[in-house]
């Protein structure tokens, strides 16, 4: 009897967790909109309903920062919505096991150079414990102003940003030669090695967690095929 009571209490405690389990998975990686002023980009969001029931989700809110010059639309098939005006109209229905590939985000870069990120939070119409998040970031650049890029024969590398940083620092890059072995080495102000990162040719950015670094000045160096190409400064603050 005691074992039965223990099992019953455990099920009662665990039920909210089971009820809040995520039933829809976002298969797309973080969406990245990188482009020039006044351009527009479209990215596909791939969703999968991993449950054996039909699910309907609505857009609850948008978190993060979308600049006043930028504009995002959510498109389901041929129907597009402005989430700022049509928040309640953005609804997605997925059949059991369905893989959805006709959900898109259209992002207008605007007329101001800027960087930012935002999240679209969807919740189940019948059970708000069920939810999923679509994460996106954007980087709007001026094609006539490329002062913060280093263009080498094998790759293009941006300056680190934000700089100073207290949590995350990022480098954007493009490997023009996929066979080149490129890496970033970080050293302290007095030259002690701190970290080293290989640049994946299948990606376009390197995200560095500097929250565990001591405050101060560091230097990051680009190596290509073990050759020292360029060294620049990174400042970490708390």
- Say if residue 42 is in the same domain as residue 115: yes
Contacts of 119 (CB under 8 A, 6+ apart): 62, 63, 64, 133, 134, 135, 136
pTM of the model: 0.54
The verdict on residue 128 lying in a domain is yes
CA atoms within 13 A of residue 176's CA, in its CB half-sphere: 8
Asked if 124 and 131 touch (Cβ cutoff 8 Å), the reply is yes
pLDDT, tens digit (0-9, with 9 covering 90-100), for 214-229: 999 999 999 999 888 8
The verdict on residue 49 lying in a domain is yes
Q: Where are the alpha helices (DSSP H) in the chain?
A: 2-19
Give the tokens for residue 26: 């976002």
Which of 94, 124, 143 finishes a domain? 143
pLDDT, tens digit (0-9, with 9 covering 90-100), for 122-167: 999 999 889 999 999 998 887 765 444 566 788 888 889 888 888 8
**Into how many domains does the chain fold?**
2
Q: How does DSSP assign 54-113, residue by residue?
A: -EEEEEEEEEE---TT-EEEEEETTEEE-TTT-GGG-EEEE-TT-EEEEEEEEEE--SS-
Pairing of strands 31-36, 131-141: parallel
- Say if residue 130 is in the same domain as residue 168: no
Q: Measured between alpha carbons, how far is 131 from 121 in angstroms, rounded to an integer?
A: 7
Rg of the chain over Cα atoms, rounded to whole angstroms, equals 22
- Say if residue 121 is in the same domain as residue 164: no
pLDDT, tens digit (0-9, with 9 covering 90-100), for 100-123: 999 999 999 998 888 889 999 999
Of residues 68 and 174, the one with the higher pLDDT is 174
Q: What is the CATH number of the domain that holds 29?
A: 2.60.40.10
Q: Measured between alpha carbons, how far is 178 from 201 in angstroms, rounded to an integer?
A: 6
Which of 111, 143, 175 finishes a domain? 143
Which of 91, 108, 143 finishes a domain? 143
Residue 146: per-residue pLDDT? 46
- Say if residue 53 is in the same domain as residue 95: yes
- Say if residue 159 is in the same domain as residue 128: no
pLDDT, tens digit (0-9, with 9 covering 90-100), for 8-54: 454 444 444 444 455 899 998 678 898 888 889 999 999 999 999 99
Report, as an integer, the average pLDDT of 173-195.
Answer: 91
The verdict on residue 10 lying in a domain is no
Sheet holding 168-175, edge to edge: 149-151, 155-158, 168-175, 205-209
pLDDT at 66 over 50: yes
- Say if residue 139 is in the same domain as residue 31: yes
- Say if residue 224 is in the same domain as residue 208: yes
- Say if residue 138 is in the same domain as residue 25: yes
- Say if residue 75 is in the same domain as residue 181: no
Nearest to 85 by CA among 106, 103, 62: 62
Residue 81: per-residue pLDDT? 95
Residue 7 pLDDT class (50, 70, 90 cuts): very low
Q: Measured between alpha carbons, how far is 26 from 47 in angstroms, rounded to an integer?
A: 5
Give the tokens for residue 21: 């389990």
- Say if residue 106 is in the same domain as residue 26: yes
Of residues 231 and 29, the one with the higher pLDDT is 231
The verdict on residue 14 lying in a domain is no
The verdict on residue 6 lying in a domain is no
Give the tokens for residue 181: 């072995």
Asked if 196 and 124 touch (Cβ cutoff 8 Å), the reply is no
**Which structural domain, as residue segments, surrounds residue 42?**
21-143
- Say if residue 153 is in the same domain as residue 91: no
Residue 18: per-residue pLDDT? 41
pLDDT at 98 over 50: yes
- Say if residue 130 is in the same domain as residue 28: yes
């Amino acid at each position: 009897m005691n074992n039965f009571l223990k099992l019953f209490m455990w099920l009662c405690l665990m039920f909210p967790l089971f009820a809040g389990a995520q039933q829809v998975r976002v298969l797309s990686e973080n969406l990245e909109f990188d482009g020039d002023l006044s351009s527009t980009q479209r990215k596909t969001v791939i969703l999968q309903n991993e449950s054996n029931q039909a699910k309907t989700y609505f857009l609850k809110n948008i978190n993060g920062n979308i600049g006043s010059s930028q504009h995002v639309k959510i498109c389901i098939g041929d129907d597009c919505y402005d989430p700022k005006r049509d928040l309640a109209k953005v609804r997605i229905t997925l059949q059991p096991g369905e893989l959805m590939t006709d959900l898109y985000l259209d992002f207008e870069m605007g007329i101001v150079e800027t960087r930012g990120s935002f999240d679209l939070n969807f919740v189940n119409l019948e059970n708000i414990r069920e939810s999923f998040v679509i994460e996106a970031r954007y980087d709007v650049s001026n094609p006539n102003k490329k002062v913060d890029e280093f263009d080498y024969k094998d790759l293009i590398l941006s300056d680190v940003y934000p700089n100073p940083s207290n949590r995350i620092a990022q480098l954007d890059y493009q490997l023009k030669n996929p066979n080149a072995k490129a890496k970033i080495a970080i050293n302290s102000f007095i030259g002690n090695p701190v970290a080293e990162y290989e640049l994946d040719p299948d990606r376009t950015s390197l995200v560095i967690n500097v929250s565990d670094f001591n405050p101060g000045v560091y230097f990051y160096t680009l190596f290509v095929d073990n050759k020292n190409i360029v060294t620049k400064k990174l400042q970490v603050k708390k």
